[in-house]
């Protein structure tokens, strides 16, 4: 049984803040600062270039990949860390397309994170006019999975509403039509149990700075199913994905398995912070995390609906149909969110009217939810959001 | 006049080490540890998601780009930091190719860093069989710049020998033939004065963990000439290169100028370490750096040739023809380098027989060179390298 009081104690959570935005950027693991400090002074500082071998920097992308793999149903040796999520989306879609020659359409939905659509669009424009990115409503994805489709590219959990796709059913349907799947786990990894192997997923990608708490700009990850690992051609064929990077051959030969999805020199300092976060994840069982996540989101929905009737639930009501966030619609949601932030309740806002609240059992508990709802209720019932200073739009990530 | 004693004092240089491998990984700026610590605890820890605006994280890629720009002859607003060098090579070559429609050949040389060739090869394979990566000898590049070539992709300074291409002459020749240029400055930025604007270069890329001392896995940079900045299409079209990233539109619209070359969420922790390194660079003038670099490399060559006749100079003899490193060939160079490292002289080795020594005036001085040569001379004259423990090959970056 996961000890959530113990995991909560391992995060730095500022006094007076109820942080319900771990779905955007997870908080600082207390151990991260010391771990990074040590890496800087004792590894980079003392070992200099030899740190790549002596300190194990070169192996971090696959070491961290394996640790993330445990949370997403991926066997050791099938996940590697590196680059940004957008780059990994490009790499996965480019590889998947080539494994399905003759088909020219990538299918996605308009609930996908825009950058996934932008990256696929950029790739397909490079490949030529015969390629098409087809974007449909999330509810219409299944009916659009035809034998015309080369690649199905979906984000499992919608970044705005938390609506969850049925990964197993859609993957099965895709395979029945000869379609290769690319799943974006940005709002899944560390949020809900994922079973990539059990779903027979082909490719998956995700980021580590949201639920995984790797820090701002933490690297992304990519999963390649064993059946494709030695045949997928990485379009982004960098030297660290080469079979023998330090032979400095002029010709590219892809490395074995997941290693070929490495590209350039990995970000050691970011990976060190991520490793501190994964130390906490090593204490957690995803089924426990999911059970508590459901309890927290159910509590939040019930309490908010009881006291804030003007807010309309934008997330699916059935817990099984959503990730680990809850969104409410309100025309002045932007101002409400600013009023909440001013009171220490940190969620975020997505245009035109969605207030998002992320629930992260590693450091959020029932008392936090109750206090957050009390503040939200005060703001709503007394229209405390209706002030000019809360209506000035600022860029928010 | 640059105060090199002052800059040297700003680096952590381990006792007993003469570090001549700053061309692979620069040393730790003393201020980096505190600066990163502060970013972790006071920014990520306290500001959480609001750090993107409050702490200025979102602007770091262009802020750092401008600071690097000063060292490479690039105007403010023409350089942005992010991703790895391999990714930036891909992005530059893909963009350049599209700006030269109708031509299908990328010309490079076999002295280029292999990852540049791998990335270009990966891109061209994606685009189709009609595309070709043509790799010639460095000396033969000029004669191969014909009106068949779409893009000339070269690394200015050879990573093995330090041989330097004539960027201005080759760029002029390329333009006369309607060829667009992509220059890799991995061994140029912070090593030699570069005048991208004066050379009329089209695209340039580089890394920040070598001479710039940004730390292991520090992000890369990309330069786009103003004439292309608003027409280049980033094949890697990520959300942070979008005109309005936080509008979350479904369609990609490239941002203005260099901003469009941003892709995903930038690595804030790595950028913070890089910023500490750039604080030192702000104290330096590249002409002073070059003058001292030439003095140090000339001193090294003269002293080594006087006392180690078995070593054959692999770098150009004329200082103007080389970067800031000196390479010597020796059949047992690997063992010699291991013997040097065991004595605290850190250079590196590139197969089959090249010993590389990087000279970095910010923290290496005449006395260091003299001591390094004394140790090398002892090792060579007394065959101290001829021991089994120095002949076991390990992977070295």
Please identify every residue of A annotated as catalytic: 113, 184, 209-210, 356
Has B319 been labeled as part of a binding site?
no
| Pairwise CA distance, residues B32 & B45, whole Å | 18
| Pairwise CA distance, residues A191 & B69, whole Å | 41
Has B251 been labeled as part of a binding site?
no
| Pairwise CA distance, residues A104 & A99, whole Å | 11
* Best of A265, A337, A354, A356 to mutate (most B CBs within 10 Å, chain B): A265
Has A57 been labeled as part of a binding site?
no
* Best of B48, B97, B125 to mutate (most A CBs within 10 Å, chain A): B48
Has A300 been labeled as part of a binding site?
no
Has B193 been labeled as part of a binding site?
no
Are B207 and A94 a contacting pair at CB < 8 A? no
Strand partners, B135: B108
| Pairwise CA distance, residues A159 & A191, whole Å | 12
* Omega before B45 within 30 of 0, i.e. cis: no
- For B275-310, the pLDDT digits (tens) are 999 999 999 999 999 999 999 999 999 999 999 999
The answer to whether the beta carbons of residues A17 and A226 sit under 8 Å apart is no
Are B346 and A50 a contacting pair at CB < 8 A? yes
Task: Please report residues of B whose CB lies closer than 8 A to that of A251.
Answer: 121
- For B173-211, the pLDDT digits (tens) are 999 999 999 999 999 999 999 999 999 999 999 999 999
Average pLDDT for B375-394: 92
| Pairwise CA distance, residues B110 & A174, whole Å | 43
**Residue B45 distance to chain A (closest CA, Å):** 5
Q: Closest-CA residue in chain B for A394? A: B53
Output the 3-class SS for B57-115. HHHHHHHHHHHHHCCCCCCCCCEEECCCHHHHHHHHHHHHHHCCCCCCEEEEECCCCHH
Are A28 and B45 a contacting pair at CB < 8 A? yes
The answer to whether the beta carbons of residues A71 and A189 sit under 8 Å apart is yes
Token representation of residue B240? 């942070």
| Pairwise CA distance, residues A13 & A371, whole Å | 15
Please identify every residue of B annotated as catalytic: 113, 184, 209-210, 356
The answer to whether the beta carbons of residues B93 and B205 sit under 8 Å apart is no
Q: Closest-CA residue in chain A for B93? A: A126
**Residue B354 distance to chain A (closest CA, Å):** 13
The answer to whether the beta carbons of residues A69 and A78 sit under 8 Å apart is yes
Does the pLDDT of residue B4 top 70, yes or no? yes
- Please, which residues have CB within 8 angstroms of residue B182's CB and are 6 or more apart in sequence? B89, B92, B93, B96, B151, B152, B153, B154, B202, B203, B204, B205
Task: Please report residues of B whose CB lies closer than 8 A to that of A115.
Answer: 238-240, 264
Strand-pair category, B132-136 with B149-155:
unpaired
Read off φ and ψ for residue A225, nearest 5 degrees.
Answer: -60, 140
Are B86 and A126 a contacting pair at CB < 8 A? no
Nearest CB partner across the interface for B238, out of A33, A86, A234: A86
| Pairwise CA distance, residues A167 & B248, whole Å | 24
Residue corresponding to tokens 């619609």? A329
Q: What is the DSSP letter of A157?
A: B
Sign of the C-alpha dihedral computed for residues A189, A190, A192 and A193 taken in this order:
positive
Taking CA atoms, B366 is separated from A258, B14, B18, B176, B304, in Å, by 46, 18, 11, 43, 14
Strand, helix or coil at A356?
A: strand
**Residue A171 distance to chain B (closest CA, Å):** 24
Task: Please report residues of A whose CB lies closer than 8 A to that of B114.
Answer: 239, 242, 248-250, 252
H-helix or E-strand spanning residue A150: strand A149-155
List the one residue out of A282, A213, A290 whose CA is nearest residue A70. Answer: A282
Does the pLDDT of residue A180 top 80, yes or no? yes
The answer to whether the beta carbons of residues B67 and B281 sit under 8 Å apart is yes
Has B187 been labeled as part of a binding site?
yes
List the one residue out of B112, B29, B26, B85 whose CA is nearest residue B359. Answer: B26
Angle at A159 between CA A118 and CA A363, to 5 degrees: 135
Predicted confidence at residue B146, as pLDDT, reads 98
- For A248-299, the pLDDT digits (tens) are 999 999 999 999 999 999 999 999 999 999 999 999 999 999 999 999 999 9
- For B360-374, the pLDDT digits (tens) are 999 999 999 999 999
Strand partners, B154: B183
What interhelical angle do B366-381 and B333-342 show, nearest 10?
120
The answer to whether the beta carbons of residues B184 and B207 sit under 8 Å apart is no
H-helix or E-strand spanning residue B54: helix B51-54
Predicted confidence at residue A392, as pLDDT, reads 81
Are B48 and A19 a contacting pair at CB < 8 A? yes
% residues pLDDT > 70 (chain A): 99
Q: Delineate the domains of chain B, giving CATH numbers in brackets.
A: 4-30+285-390 (3.90.1150.10), 56-281 (3.40.640.10)
The answer to whether the beta carbons of residues B206 and B155 sit under 8 Å apart is no
Has B113 been labeled as part of a binding site?
yes
The answer to whether the beta carbons of residues A286 and A193 sit under 8 Å apart is yes
Predicted confidence at residue A60, as pLDDT, reads 98
Average pLDDT for A329-358: 96
Q: Hey, what long-range contacts does A239-245 have (CB within 8 A, 24 or more apart)?
A: A239/A264, A239/B86, A239/B113, A239/B114, A239/B115, A239/B118, A240/A61, A240/A264, A240/A265, A240/A266, A240/B115, A242/B114, A242/B118
Angle at A277 between CA A274 and CA A281, to 5 degrees: 130
- For A108-141, the pLDDT digits (tens) are 999 999 999 999 999 999 999 999 999 999 999 9
| Pairwise CA distance, residues A111 & A139, whole Å | 10
Q: Closest-CA residue in chain B for A346? A: B49
Are B216 and A265 a contacting pair at CB < 8 A? yes
Token representation of residue A390? 């809360």
Confidence at B392, pLDDT banded by 50, 70, 90: confident
Average pLDDT for A8-23: 97
| Pairwise CA distance, residues B97 & B106, whole Å | 8
Q: Closest-CA residue in chain B for A252? A: B118
Average pLDDT, chain A: 97
**Residue A228 distance to chain B (closest CA, Å):** 18
User: pLDDT: is A199 or A351 the higher one?
Assistant: A199
Average pLDDT, chain B: 97
Does the pLDDT of residue B397 top 50, yes or no? no
Average pLDDT for A326-344: 97
| Pairwise CA distance, residues B6 & B280, whole Å | 9
% residues pLDDT > 90 (chain B): 97
The answer to whether the beta carbons of residues A45 and B12 sit under 8 Å apart is yes
Predicted confidence at residue B394, as pLDDT, reads 60
H-helix or E-strand spanning residue B272: helix B268-281
Does the pLDDT of residue B228 top 90, yes or no? yes
Nearest CB partner across the interface for A118, out of B90, B114, B238: B238
Average pLDDT for B50-55: 95
Confidence at B157, pLDDT banded by 50, 70, 90: very high
| Pairwise CA distance, residues B374 & B167, whole Å | 36
Q: How many contacts, defined by CB atoms under 8 Å, are there between A and B?
A: 288
Instruction: Dump strand ranges (E) for chain B.
Output: 11-12, 18-19, 28-29, 79-81, 105-109, 132-136, 149-155, 180-184, 203-207, 220-224, 312-313, 325-329, 345-346, 348-350, 354-358
Are B235 and A122 a contacting pair at CB < 8 A? yes
Predicted confidence at residue A393, as pLDDT, reads 75
* Best of A26, A91, A115 to mutate (most B CBs within 10 Å, chain B): A115
Nearest CB partner across the interface for B33, out of A12, A37, A250: A37
């Amino acid at each position: 049984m996961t000890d959530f009081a113990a995991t909560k104690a391992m995060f730095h959570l500022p006094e007076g803040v109820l942080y319900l935005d771990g779905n955007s950027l997870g908080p600082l693991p207390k151990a991260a600062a010391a771990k990074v400090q040590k890496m800087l002074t004792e590894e980079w500082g003392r070992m200099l270039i030899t740190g790549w071998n002596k300190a194990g920097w070169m192996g971090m992308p696959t070491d961290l990949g394996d640790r993330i793999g445990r949370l997403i149903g991926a066997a050791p040796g099938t996940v590697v860390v590196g680059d940004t999520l957008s780059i990994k989306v490009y790499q996965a879609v480019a590889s998947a397309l080539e494994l399905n020659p003759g088909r020219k359409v990538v299918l996605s939905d308009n609930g996908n994170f825009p950058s996934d659509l932008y990256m696929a669009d950029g790739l397909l424009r490079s490949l030529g006019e015969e390629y098409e990115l087809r974007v449909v409503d999330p509810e219409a994805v299944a009916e659009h999975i035809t034998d015309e489709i080369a690649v199905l590219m979906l984000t499992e959990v919608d970044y705005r509403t938390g609506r969850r796709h049925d990964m197993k059913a859609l993957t099965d349907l895709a395979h029945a039509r000869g379609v290769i799947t690319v799943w974006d786990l940005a709002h899944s990894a560390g949020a809900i149990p994922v079973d990539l192997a059990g779903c027979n997923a082909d490719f998956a990608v995700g980021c580590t700075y949201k639920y995984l708490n790797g820090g701002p700009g933490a690297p992304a990850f990519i999963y390649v199913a064993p059946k494709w690992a030695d045949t997928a051609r990485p379009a982004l064929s960098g030297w660290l994905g080469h079979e023998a990077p330090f032979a400095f051959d002029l010709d590219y030969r892809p490395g074995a398995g997941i290693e070929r999805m490495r590209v350039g020199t990995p970000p050691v300092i970011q990976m060190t912070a991520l490793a501190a976060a994964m130390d906490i994840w090593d204490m957690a069982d995803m089924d426990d995390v999911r059970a508590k996540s459901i309890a927290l989101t159910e509590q939040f929905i019930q309490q908010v609906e009881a006291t804030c009737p003007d807010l309309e639930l934008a997330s699916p009501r059935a817990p099984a149909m959503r990730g680990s966030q809850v969104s409410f619609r309100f025309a002045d949601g932007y101002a409400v969110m600013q009023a909440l932030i001013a009171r220490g309740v940190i969620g975020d806002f997505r245009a035109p009217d969605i207030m998002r609240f992320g629930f992260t059992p590693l450091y959020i508990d029932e008392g936090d939810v109750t206090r957050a709802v009390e503040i939200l209720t005060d703001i709503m019932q007394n229209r405390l959001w209706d002030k000019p200073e809360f209506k000035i739009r600022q860029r928010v990530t």
